[in-house]
Structure 1
């Protein structure tokens, strides 16, 4: 991957389109083209250019060209690229306590997620990320609850014991699915379809509006509405790049990010039922699921995980109070 060539190409195209006088912002999408995060990034870019009257040009690089979200996060920290919109789960590489975001049944609903992101507690969790990692969180918000996709159905009232479940490369996901009795296996998002179709894993989990573009329901048609973790979005920017902007441009970028987080939530909420219906039309079975047993198992594991340092002690209870 020639990152320098990609960046130079994007910059050249932007210069031709807009001229060379405006402030430029290199924005990266590290999720698949057409995914909810790609659409959120495109909305963010549009708002910036409209609200700045073209004074801020956005070089938008999409389609995994610069690597995975953790790889792009490293590039933002190093100042190679400026900004990215992606799932909030990836903040944990630079703000370990944010692994609480991907713990089971941490949040009651979307409003609770927004309240947490708007709290002093969240600001505290990401201070070192900004000051040392040089990555500022511009916005964060909920999108939708995650559900489970299985190649074979559960028994009536069954659990996930011994199921080989795909998880991302995030420690809290590993610990969660272990607590739920499954056999968690780390597989890249883009490889999940193949992993399920070949039996490497027996299931996966994720937000329906993102999973449909990966066609999870085609190879794992047993969909269970576990709603175990709230999927989230975030938009981050290199701290030094942000500080180089004028106060007026900083405000435009910040507000555009906040508005884009709300847009992503509204979009996912609107499309979720449509997506589930489309999966059903494609042959999937959409199952309601009593998650009380999963919730109890996740809650029981919290004390040990906090003692082991997965996140700071007392954080789970503090989030409940937001």
Structure 2
């Protein structure tokens, strides 16, 4: 859909809000794509509950769980068009439109969650978020680090050499594809809801994802080896179509912003608290958990940084600036 059509749809929604009677309740459709019961799904539900408690008869969130609205790209595009007003998931997807976000997808960039939080509070992140708002009409209300992403496979992986030639599921994010190619796998793109079947049938032999999301999707039952690569630190964010946001009264904007910030604080605490327990649950249910030596993986992944910047996957020098935070 072209940009004029997107602006028209978003503008139509904004106009409907501005012309609604003052007493009418305004409903925002909020989409996600993670498994019901996963950490991100619960975070989205918490945000919706907070807004619905505080919005009274003026504002309500209609949260659509799972992939009822489509995959992440589908929901983001609907948000750009204005047919869906809000979305909650990882920040990584925005790398499809603003290259700065791609660095979030490059393994072993961040030392720990505190390092990632420094980035989210930095001018580097603020500039990327503002570009997303100006160019795509999407306003990020809040974001936080959550859980490490882990590797699951149908055979044990102890070193990068064990990844050579393995059929690896990756999301529709270019940097993920390039990272796992650099690590020696043969990446395939599958929607999140298709991974379990893909692993069960052998279409793919490995996948990766946030700890709680992989557990909620029962991926450890289809790929019985769970590797604590902790190659990425996942994020959770809440975003709104900017035209829809601007059309709201200031008090309703404040309700959304405050609820989003509280949700981000909650999801970080909850993510950190749940990680070890969820991994233990996987082991209790028959998975073999392997804590790998990360350094060989780190060295192999870092070999690709210069090439990523040379080809414009993210702006030159950004990775080094983040490492210096």
- Regarding TM over 0.5, the answer is yes
Structure 1 residue 119: Cα displacement: 1.3
Match of 1:66 in 2: 69
1:275 and 2:278 correspond: yes
Partner of 1:76: 79
Specify which of 163, 166, 170 is matched with residue 169 of structure 2: 166
Give the Å deviation of 1:275: 1.2
Which of 199, 204, 209 is 2:207 aligned to?
204
**Whole-angstrom CA distance in 2 between matches of 1:128 and 1:231:** 21
The answer to whether the 8 A contact 2:36-2:216 is kept is no
State which of 162, 172, 179 in structure 1 corresponds to 2:182.
179
Post-superposition shift, 1:285?
0.9
The CA distance in 1 between the partners of 2:43 and 2:98, in whole Å, is 22
Structure 2 SS opposite 1:32 = coil
Q: 1:199 to 1:55 in 2, by over 3 A?
A: same
Aligned partner of 2:220 among 217, 220, 232: 217
Cα distance between partner residues in 2 of 1:312 and 1:295:
21
Give TM-score, length-normalised by structure 1: 0.89
**For 1:40, which of 34, 39, 43 is the aligned residue?**
43
Q: Aligned equivalents of 1:138 and 1:95: distance in 2? A: 17
Q: Distance in 2 between matches of 1:299 and 1:63?
A: 34
Give the length in aligned residue pairs: 304
Shift of 1:155: 6.0
Q: Which residue of 2 aligns with 1:30?
A: 33
| Cα displacement (A) at 1:158 | 5.2
Task: Tell me how far apart the structure 1 counterparts of residues 27 and 192 of structure 2 sit (CA, whole Å).
Answer: 31
Is residue 49–residue 55 contact of structure 1 (8 Å, CA) maintained in 2? no
CA drift of 1:53 comes to 4.2
Q: CA RMSD in A?
A: 1.8
The yes-or-no answer on 1:124 pairing with 2:127 is: yes
TM-score by length of 2: 0.89
User: Are residues 243 and 273 of structure 1, via their aligned partners in 2, closer, same or farther at CA, if it must alter by over 3 Å?
Assistant: same
Q: CA deviation at 1:189?
A: 1.2
Question: Counterparts of 1:215 and 1:246 in 2: how far apart (Å)?
Answer: 42
What are the ranges of 5 or more consecutive residues in structure 1 without an aligned counterpart?
1-19
Tell me what 2:3 maps to.
Answer: none
Kept after mapping to 2: 8 A contact 1:221/1:283:
yes
Secondary structure in 2 aligned to 1:226? strand
Alpha-carbon distance in 2 for matches of 1:219, 1:32: 16
Matched residue, 2:250: 247
- Runs of 4 or more consecutive aligned structure 1 residues displaced over 4 Å after TM superposition: 155-158
Conserved 8 A contact 1:27-1:83: yes
The whole-number CA distance in structure 1 between the counterparts of 2:248 and 2:283 is 48
Q: Distance in 1 between matches of 2:86 and 2:60?
A: 13
Query: Which of 73, 81, 95 is 2:98 aligned to?
Result: 95
> Post-superposition shift, 1:157?
8.5
Q: In 2, are the aligned partners of 1:106 and 1:316 still within 8 Å (CA)?
A: yes
